[in-house]
Chains A and B, each alone.
Chain A
Amino acid sequence: MLVNAELYVRDLPGQLVGSIEPISMVDGNIVSVMHDRETMMNKRILVKVTFEVKDNSQIEKLKAIWKSRDIIICKMGSVYSTLSMDYMLLGSFTAAYVDSLIDVASRLANVESVDVSYSSQDKNSGKRTAMITLEVREREDLEKVDAFFAESCKRDSLIYIRGI
């Protein structure tokens, strides 16, 4: 997990090192550090740090160390990299059907975002097209969603096309 944090440290020698050293102490990996002397608050200066940790337990330990060193945590947020995949369904179906598929897919995998668009229904054949774009956290999530969509489309006689 990639984490961005904004810290306020006392404007004294050794405080910068004192703020980033705990990241290594909890086995985190420091990606970048920015020391902003122009942004001051109550005689404290701003330190922006980006680091990688495996899970929340490391963050909790880190927060405790920073607190014990009189370092103020102003902002902290995690950033996830996501994988995007496009899917297309062709055949006779309703929007409710697609919604139900997406609901199940969201329970099977860690889906971050969904975007769906439809073509208008062909008057003669009654067929339409749905284009679904999903963002997920892990490659395994893509495999789960792909397997579920493929199986559902086969069962319901729809043509299933996925991205590359």
Chain B
Amino acid sequence: MKRILISGFGTVGQGFCEVLSLRKDWLMERYGEVPVVVAAMDSKTVAKCPEGLDPLALVERKQTSRKVGEETYSDSLEVLGSVDFDILVEVSPTDIKTGGVGLKNIEYALSHGKDVITVNKGPLALEFNKLMTLAKDNGCRIRFEGSVGGAMPIINLCHENLAAEKIRSVRGIFNGTCNFILSKMDNGQPFEQALKEAQQLGYAETDPTNDVEGYDTAAKVAILANAVFHRDVKFSDVKITGITGITPEAIAQAASRNMVIRLIGEISETKLEVSPRLIPRDHPLGISGTLNIALIEADLAGPITIKGRGAGRIETASAIFSDLVAILDGRAEKLC
């Protein structure tokens, strides 16, 4: 029976527990057993049980008491060292500058031969190749489908279904918050008002810097460059322009030519860029709203477009669950 340790118990961690519970029967039918959550930790507390915790009880406790466990801790690595687990689900908050506690947890798990599933962009954008080498050297797997595009299956699609293709370029909208703001600006709203609405609807953080300055998209671009194009790049290598300088006049002028402005991440052998781009309204990348979209140019298959929800509790948990299924199936991450 596979034992799971969940590091980070915010929206995504709770969503994963819900999906685990929702798909309990499916897992039993497919594998003859259901993986158990042996530990769950938020930023201050931890709940542990070697026989397994009730995922839904963890969610309920977190929602009522704002704590996932009774026991407090100060060093997450001590918690990881005190629990016998097989798979680390690392969903702690992204720290794009240092990788934060997520990076330490992932390094610890991989160096101890544990499989890792993460949606934490910081560690991947900063230390991708180091983590992949660590996994390879220790004979374990690291999967990260939900780190780019949420429920949109771009990484596994490229690694598995398009494994024999030479991917020429990937261009896409990888930040739903920016796309929501730019879509609202298409209708005449100024930037500040559109941002305010995004915050009120829960699409944007109180501090929207990571989204509107393009840093979130840049982290995803760095991950895709490493994972799909096998490049050796870091977050700091990405050329970034955000959307804060986009004016209503610019939107109107683009509209007069039947175009919209969208924040596009672009990756190829030579490009590594996040910038606002002029997109014809009828182009696949001219979508409105919070959806994510990616246009993959493959040498044999030609252009492939995928679209999906880039964020959300259950949507991101669905990506984590797909990685869990891949690990349980014994499918290795194919990176080289």
Residues of chain A having any CB pair with chain B under 8 Å:
86-88, 90, 117, 119-120, 122, 127-129, 131, 133, 159-164
Contact = CB atoms under 8 A, between A and B. Distances in A.
B34 interface: no
Nearest to B252: A119
A163 B262 CA distance: 10
Contacts of B283: 164
A44 B246 CA distance: 63
Contacts of A161: 250, 261, 275-278
B212 interface: no
Given A161-B261, A163-B278, A163-B279, 17 more contacts: A87-B278, A88-B250, A88-B254, A90-B246, A90-B250, A119-B249, A127-B247, A129-B247, A129-B249, A129-B250, A131-B253, A159-B276, A161-B250, A161-B278, A162-B278, A164-B277, A164-B278
Contacts, number: 60
Interface in B232-256: 241, 245-247, 249-250, 252-254, 256
B270 to A, nearest CB: 10
6 contacts: A119-B252, A127-B249, A129-B249, A129-B250, A160-B241, A164-B279
Given A86-B259, A86-B278, A119-B252, A164 B171 contact: yes
A127 B171 CA distance: 30
B181 to A, nearest CB: 15
Given A161-B276, A164-B285, A86 B250 contact: no
A128 B279 contact: no
B178 to A, nearest CB: 14
Given A161-B275, A161-B278, A164-B277, A88 B249 contact: no
Most chain A CB neighbours (cut-off 10 Å) among B249, B252, B275, B280 = B249
Given A90-B245, A127-B247, A164-B278, A117 B285 contact: no
Contacts of A86: 257, 259, 278
Contacts of B58: none
The 5 A-B residue pairs with the shortest CB-CB distance, nearest first, are A119-B249, A159-B245, A163-B278, A129-B250, A86-B278
B319 interface: no
A159 B241 contact: yes
Contacts of B252: 119
Contacts of B253: 88, 117, 119, 129, 131
Nearest to B279: A164
For B247, B283, B285, the residue with the greatest tally of chain A CB atoms inside 10 Å of its CB is B247
Nearest to A87: B278
A128 B252 CA distance: 12
Contacts of A128: 249
B274 to A, nearest CB: 12
A159 B277 CA distance: 11
Contact of A163 (B245, B246, B249, B277): B277
A95 to B, nearest CB: 15
B257 A131 contact: yes
B264 interface: yes
Nearest to A154: B241
Contacts of B280: 164
